[in-house]
Amino acid sequence: MSAPRPRIVAAMSGGVDSSVTAALLARAGYEVVGVTLQLYSAAAPKRKGACCAGQDIQDARRVAEKLGIAHYVLDYEERFRSRVIADFAETYARGETPIPCVRCNERVKFADLMDTARDLGAEALATGHYVRRVEGPHGAELHRAADANRDQSYFLFATTQKQLDYLRFPIGGMDKREVRAIAAELGLAVAGKPDSQDICFVPDGKYSNIVEKMKPDAATPGEIVDAQGQVLGRHDGVIHFTVGQRKGLGLSGNGEPLFVLRLDASKAQVVVGPRDMLSTRTIRLRDVNWLGGGETAIDCAVKVRSMRPPIAARLVRGPDRTAEIELLSPEEAVAPGQACVFYERDGTRVLGGGWIAKAEPVRKAA
């Protein structure tokens, strides 16, 4: 009598990446259990670039049938609303810029779904993220994907060591063309399916509509002021603005273009200034998650935007999961609420990351 095959749960969103993830595991001889999270009502209209609802669930189910694996749909709509969408609205209402994809991984996919995988007796949870898990001398390490254009490590900085020990990322060493080629070879209907887009629950990119619905008192009108506090105009609510924004300020007649420098939700103020006041070298972080060593200070590389390449920096740990980053070259429009993720200076390993609490401008207001 042959030994039972090891079981792995594959998170299946209905896209090509998670579908090929499940296929690779099945091809490797695992007993694969596909799990799809329903994050929206099944009857909700399809949002362009969304995932985890309607047609996507049907696509995941068809892929599972094609692969001959078990498939389950879990209703996580209320959890997603309370843990991700509500946080998104709260963050914007504070005058910060959120990253809901991080919260979704942290609070939904790598929390409850991981518990479900363990309950099903799985030895691991696999996802279709473009990131690599490498066995290092002291345990599992998180590394950037082989395909730099697809790397999603920025969105996974909050992954804990315990979670990383249990996670698998089968496509992290591939590029997108390889993934689609495998899907086509296996006859999967999703082989040519377009990628989902950020942010999945915001139709037409109108973030403020979501915030006003969740936080009706967040759209408080106020003043647009310069760095010295001089009133230049008025606005309909700080939720309509982000740090670095130039268009839509409703200001004219100034000697130079003005950009949003910061948002003060407590005063309902949008502070604007010239572009050179957007530059920063010093960033303070909160709620830092560490995946590297225990050094107090390290030379590293950091990303303050998902699509920007890492830049050289010096990191110093502080108390209570805080840290201070000193950039070797300035960055523009570093916004509170966004993430700062740090990597080995000359490598691919993710050492950790945190939420940006404050960015000190290089040029101070006169």
Q: Which residues are catalytic?
A: 104, 200
Q: Give φ, ψ of 121 to 5 degrees.
A: 80, 20
Give the rounded distance of the alpha carbon of 340 from its chain centre.
11
CB 123 within 8 Å of CB 9: no
The residue assigned the tokens 């997108």 is 176
Whether residue 278 contacts residue 319, with contact meaning beta carbons closer than 8 Å, is answered with no
| Joined tokens for residue 175 | 């590029």
Strands 269-273, 259-264: pairing kind: antiparallel
